[in-house]
Amino acid sequence: MLKSIVFYLLMVVILSFISVNTCYATIDSYVQIVFHITLSDETPLPNATIIVIPSSDIMHTYAGITNTTGICIIRVPLPLSGSLKLEITIRYNIYGTIYSEQRIISLEKTKNNYLIEIKLPYTVLYKRVVITDEYGNKLSGKLILSYNNIQVYHTSFNNGLALINGRGSKRLLLWSNNKVFQEKYSLQIKTINNTSKSFKGIPSNIYIDLRPPRVKILYYIGKYDPSAGIIQAEAKLQVRDGLSTPLDRVYASINLEKCSLGFCRFKPGIKSVLGGQGYSQYLNITIWYYIQRPYFAGEKSVNISLIITVIDPGGHRVVITKNARVLLSTNTTSSKTHLTSQTMSVGNTSVPGSTNTLLIGGEKGSLGGNSGFLKWIKNNILILIAALSAFIVLLVEHYHHKR
C-alpha cells in the first residue's frame, strides 16, 4: 500500500514538471526581444551584458550578452495584457552599469519578435597625448591608463606623442562628454630617465618638470635705517623654469651677524607662487628686520645674509645666499652688486614675463633691547657682584643685631 502511494506521488511530480516545461517551450507563451546596442558613433558594442526584468515575471531576471554586431536576443514570458513593461540594465566591463531605463512594448497578436535599439552616449576612446618637458622638449617613455585605479591600457611612446586606441584592447574602451566619467580615468607617464608622474583624466598636452629652476640675481642691496631701526635687504631675481615658471614658489629669509640666543634670525617669508605668464619672470624682493640700536652699540657695521630658495612643482630646489656689509652710521646703501655672473645654467630663449614684488618683514619687538640689556650686565658683572655681596653682609649683621 505504501509503495503504491509513493509511486503515485512520484508520477504526479514528473507529469507536472513535463507539463510546465512543455508550456514554457510553446512559442505562443513567449515574446522574443531583440536588442541592438550601439555607441553614439554607430559602433556596435560587443560583450555587453543586458539584464531584463519583465512585468510578466517580476520575480526573475533574464539576461544575455551582445555579439560582435551588438545584438542580443532575450525571451521573456508573454504577459496577460496587451503590453509588456521591461526594466532594462546594461553593464559593460569595468564601467559597470552604463545604461538603465524602463520601456513599454505594445504587443500584437500576430507578432512574437520585437526590436529594441539603444544608442549609448559613449564613443570609443581615441586620444593623442603630447608629452614634453617644461621647455617643450619632446620625451619618450611609457604611458599607463587606468580607470577607477584599474589598469586598462598601456603603450610606449616616442618623440613626445602617445596614442590611446580604445579598439586595441580586449574590450572596447569608452569615452564620454561627462566630466565625472572622464575624471575616473588617470594617466601615469614614465619617461626613459625613470621620472614618473600621474595625471587625473586624459589631458591632451602634458609636460613633466625635469630640471631645477634657473635663478639669476640681478642686483642685491643691504642697508640700515637708524631712525626706524630697520635693517633691510633688497634684491631683484630672474627665474626661468619654462612652463613651470608661474607655479614656482619663492622663499626669502634674512640672517644677521652675531645673533644672540638666536634672537636675530628672521623667520622665512613666502611668495606662494610667481604667477603671471612666460618662461622668464622677474621678482622684486624687499625684506627687513626691526631691531633696536643698543644691540649694535659700538658697532660701525654688521653683516647680513639674504637667503633665496626657489622650488618648482617637480620638487627641484635652488638655494642662493648673498652676503652684504651694512653700515650702521647712515642710511646709505653699503652693498650693491649687479650680479651678471651669479646664475644657474641659463640657455633657453626667454619670453618676456611680468615683474612681481615680494615684501617680507619681521615682527617689531624688544629683542634688540633685551640683547642690549644682557650686554650691559655682561660688561658690569663685577660691580653687580660686589653690590650684591655688600647687601648680603648688611642683611646678616642686621639679623644678628636684632637677636
Please report whether residue 377 resides in a domain. Answer: no
Verify that 321 and 334 share a domain, yes or no.
Answer: yes
Total count of domains within the chain = 3
The owner of cell 655682561 is 378
**Which cell numbers in the block locate residue 194?**
625613470
Verify that 364 and 218 share a domain, yes or no.
Answer: yes
Verify that 27 and 86 share a domain, yes or no.
Answer: yes
Kind and range of the H or E element at 256?
strand 249-256
Please report whether residue 193 resides in a domain. Answer: yes
Verify that 251 and 363 share a domain, yes or no.
Answer: yes
In angstroms, how far is the first alpha carbon of the chain from the final one? 131
Sign of CA dihedral 390, 394, 399, 403: positive
Please report whether residue 83 resides in a domain. Answer: yes
What per-residue confidence (pLDDT) applies to 335?
45
Verify that 178 and 233 share a domain, yes or no.
Answer: no
Task: Return phi, psi of residue 111, to 5°.
Answer: -125, 130
Verify that 97 and 137 share a domain, yes or no.
Answer: no
> ∠128-130-135 over CA atoms, to 5°?
170
Rounded to two decimals, the pTM is 0.65
State which residues of the chain have pLDDT below 70: 1-28, 110, 257-278, 288-299, 329-384, 386, 390, 393, 396-403
CATH number for the domain that contains residue 234: 2.60.40.1940
Please report whether residue 2 resides in a domain. Answer: no
What per-residue confidence (pLDDT) applies to 141?
95
Verify that 245 and 345 share a domain, yes or no.
Answer: yes
Residue 321: closest CA among 230, 217, 248, 245: 217
What per-residue confidence (pLDDT) applies to 223?
79
Verify that 358 and 237 share a domain, yes or no.
Answer: yes
What per-residue confidence (pLDDT) applies to 381?
67
CATH number for the domain that contains residue 99: 2.60.40.10
Verify that 239 and 358 share a domain, yes or no.
Answer: yes
Q: Which amino acid is it at 280?
A: S
Please report whether residue 280 resides in a domain. Answer: yes
CA distances from 324 to 127, 253, 306 (A): 55, 14, 8
Q: Which amino acid is it at 311?
A: I
CA distances from 139 to 272, 278, 305 (A): 29, 21, 40
Verify that 258 and 151 share a domain, yes or no.
Answer: no
Q: How do 113-120 and 30-39 pair as beta strands?
A: parallel
Q: How do 49-54 and 96-106 pair as beta strands?
A: unpaired
3-state helix, strand, coil in the chain (%, to 5): 20, 45, 35
Task: Return phi, psi of residue 299, to 5°.
Answer: -95, 140
Verify that 101 and 201 share a domain, yes or no.
Answer: no
What per-residue confidence (pLDDT) applies to 80?
76
pLDDT in tens, 13-34: 433 333 333 223 233 588 899 9
Verify that 193 and 304 share a domain, yes or no.
Answer: no
User: What is the distance between the alpha carbons of residues 315 and 304, in angstroms, rounded to a whole number?
Assistant: 28
Strand order in the sheet with 214-225: 333-338, 214-225, 230-240, 280-290, 355-361
Exposed/middle/buried for 350, CB within 10 Å: 0-12, 13-18, 19+?
middle
What per-residue confidence (pLDDT) applies to 150?
94
Residue 334: closest CA among 216, 188, 224: 224
Residue 92: closest CA among 53, 45, 126: 45
Residue 227: closest CA among 290, 286, 285: 290
Kind and range of the H or E element at 383?
helix 381-402
Residue numbers of the domain that contains 290 = 214-372
